[in-house]
Structure 1
C-alpha cells in the first residue's frame, strides 16, 4: 500500500514504511520556498506520528539536490526587515519549523544527494543518519558570501564532523567541495554514480524499515543524547543572528547583486 501527499514543488510518497520527500522544482534548481519548507515540516510531523512509517528519505534530481533557499524569498524577508527566526510562537517562519522538526526527528533519516547541494541543501544532511552521494555531488555553504551566518546548528556540527580548520574553510570561504571530499570527512556514507544514488538510498531505507522501530529509535536517541540540547540552543542562537544579519546592508547588497547578476560590493559592509 502506498500514499501520496504531493504539491507541485515537494513530492511526499509513502510506501512499505518509507516516506520519501522529493525536491521537485528542478527548473528553479530545487531552490526552496517558504511553502516548500512548510510542506516538508508537515511531512516530518506526519511521519513521526504515523506508527506505520519507520524511515524518511530526502532526495532530489540526478542533476541537482537543492540550490538552497530561494533568493526571492530572502529578498522579500530582507525588505521586511528580517524575520524573528528564533520565535517560538505558531507564526514562526516555516524554514525554522522544518529545521526543528528535522533535528528532533526520532526515526532514521536517509538522504540521496546528486549535483549541487547549497546552503540548507548541505546543512540538512548533518541531521540525517545515512547520506549517499552521486559522484557529481558538490556541497557548499555560502552563508558568509550572502552576508549571513550558518543555520541548522551547522556552526556546531560541522566543526565536530570536519574539524575546526576544515569547517572554517567551508563556512568562511563558502567554496564547494566535492563528493569524495565529503566522503573523506564523513559527511556521506558512500559515493556512487548519480543514476544509482536514489535507488541505493531506497534500498538502505528498506533495510532499516525491516528492523524493530523501537530499537532504531532508542539507538538514534542514545547516539544523539549528548548533543540534542546543544543543537537546539545553537539553532536558536543562529536563528537570532541570521535574522539580524538578513536585515543588514551586507545581505541586502548580496541579494541585490545576485538578482542583478553582478558581483557584490561589500566594501562598505
Structure 2
C-alpha cells in the first residue's frame, strides 16, 4: 500500500520498533521478521541520486532519508530494494555524509562514508566512465551520493554500494551477483575540481545535470577525509575499515 509522504515517518517508527522487539527475542518468528522488512522496504522513498550522463534521464534509488537508525543503513545486513530506474550503463553508487548532532546509535554498524564527497580514481579513470554527484540529505545529516556510469572496466574492482559492505555486479545478459572492496581513503580522491573540469564528473543541480566547477557546491568542502563508522555507541573516523563484515 502506497502511503502519503506525511504518513511515512510514523509508519517507519512503528516498523523500527517492531524490528527491535523481534531482534531482542531468542527465537523470533521469521515470518514476522520478513513481513516487517517487506513493509520497511516498501516505504523507502525513491530519491533522485543522478541523471544518466548518456540520456539525461533521472536515476532514483530507494533510500531511508529519515535517519541512520533505519535498517537501510545496516552495514552488514541492509534492508533495501533495488532501483527501478537503474540504466544499463550504471556501475556503482557510493557516498559521503557529514553528521550532525545528535547522532543515531542503532544496534548495528553504520558506515555512511567520509565527511567530504570523493571519487574513486580506479573506476572514474577508466575509459568511458563518468560519475554524477548529488546532495542527499538524511535526517539532520548532509549526504552526497556519487553514481558511476559507463562500460564495465576490465579487471577493475568497483566500489561498495553506499552504506554497505558489498556491491552488485550486473551482466548485460541479465542476472548478476555480488562482490566487495575494502574501503580505504588511500583509494579515494577528495579533490573534485580536476574531475569536474575534465567532464568526467558531473553534478546535479536540483534535477539538472551540470558540468564544470562554476557554481558547483561540492568543491572544497570542510570535513574529515576519513571513513565514518558508527558502532557500539561510538563514532570513529578511520583510514580503512575491513574488520566488520566483508568490507
TM-score (norm 2): 0.30
**Higher helix content, 1 or 2:** 1
